[in-house]
Structure 1
């Protein structure tokens, strides 16, 4: 009887430490665009996530570090076990990409429910040569 009582006490004590709430897990928290060509890439990327908790996940807000990156996120609660996504669109300004998108949620597995997502890469402009421009030639070539 004493062993059973000790066993139940330990089991109850462990289960009381299990946290109840929404949890957010992203497939990846950084997306690398790589080298992308302006005009040939729309700048849209998708961050996929799952609510791995046992309560509905609420995405309260998603903010970008600048106006050149526009996020879209689900406004309805994400059920436990369900997947969803955050879409971001970079405006494809030429040069390096290094932006942060901050997700505010009720997730208990992230500090204050905040998750920083990142995009990186480089936007290049491919130089087009007009067919009307004559190539320079060297003698004896």
Structure 2
């Protein structure tokens, strides 16, 4: 992007010299348009995205969750709650979870570490620690596996009660 800005600046400075009309108005407009298009639409190389030219592996494992979101409802302050998400490998080869990371340190995932055969089920347990939290919470867990795409996201949410809300119950 720096090179595009430098190029656009050089073209504009060079075009300001009225003795040399080689670039012309059309050339300046084209260069400015190219520079602004590149700045507005930068290309990002994302290894998790299958390109148009790349075929999706038809034998890849597929992680299909029974539910992708769970609502704990009201959560007592200072408590730990957990939920077990169940998934099935609906693909044609063994599924292996490499890692699972939560969007917050208060959320801890644990999962099936053995390969999950086609048609078999695995589990992802998510624990939330409400200590020091209050109000509406929404936490994501990103699961990286040998699937396509290789990141699958599940969500937990709830409402950590305040001391006043807790007394009212």
Partner of 2:96: 58
Partner of 1:103: 143
SS in 1 for 2:92: coil
Among 121, 125, 137, the alignment partner of 2:158 is 121
The Cα of 1:46 is off from its aligned counterpart by 1.0
Structure 2: segments with no counterpart, 5+ residues: 1-55
TM-score if structure 2 supplies the norm length? Answer: 0.59
Number of matched residues?
Answer: 109
SS in 2 for 1:80: coil
With a CA cutoff of 8 Å and minimum separation of 6, indicate the structure with the bigger relative contact order.
Answer: 1
- TM-superposition CA deviations, 1:48-86 (whole Å, max 9, x none): 100011110010100001100011011110111111110
Higher-strand-fraction structure? 1
- TM-superposition CA deviations, 1:111-141 (whole Å, max 9, x none): 2x1111111110114128xxxxxxxxxxxxx
The Cα of 1:36 is off from its aligned counterpart by 2.4
Q: CA RMSD in A?
A: 2.1
Residue 119 of structure 2 corresponds to residue 81 of structure 1: yes
After the TM superposition, which segments of 4 or more aligned residues of structure 1 sit over 3 Å from their partners? none
Q: Aligned partners of 1:67 and 1:32: how far apart in 2?
A: 19
The Cα of 1:18 is off from its aligned counterpart by 8.1
Higher-helix-fraction structure? 2
Structure 1: segments with no counterpart, 5+ residues: 1-16, 129-141
TM-score if structure 1 supplies the norm length? Answer: 0.70
